[in-house]
Amino acid sequence: MKVSEYVKGGLKNFTEDEVLGRSGSHAEGVHRVTIYVREEEGRVVDCKFNATKRCKKLLAVTDYACERLKETGMLPTEEEILSFFSEEKEKDKMKNRISIALSAIKKALS
């Protein structure tokens, strides 16, 4: 899938507001993402994020990672995310945005 197609389909976990629960954020250059995680009985029941809107790659990767975390209870790997967005050509940029997203989620979970 291409990032542009994913974003066009709608971001399910993007929020403008702070959400109750634990949070973690990570910034690198102009890219910043904040993750909000809500758990019940030790299980992630919701994951929302806010990010700089200028980077579609960061938005798509973070939304996908939040969705996988809610569905499986586990953080997706870099390889899983790259595989999902296999049509993207700029692999180095994708790896950077994945690193930012996963770092923020790990902070929110710790």
The pLDDT tens digits for 8-47 are 999 999 998 888 789 999 999 999 999 999 999 989 999 9
Residue 80 has pLDDT above 80, yes or no: yes
Tell me the sheet residues that pair with 40: 43
pTM: 0.94
CATH no. for residue 95?
A: 3.90.1010.10
How many Å apart are CA 69 and CA 54, to the nearest integer? 24
For residue 42, the model assigns a pLDDT of 87
- Mean predicted lDDT score pLDDT of the chain: 94
Residue among 71, 40, 69, 51 nearest 11 (CA): 51
Domain region containing 91:
3-109
Would you state the pLDDT for residue 18? 80
- Number of domains the chain is built from: 1
57 and 94 Cβ atoms separated by less than 8 Å: yes
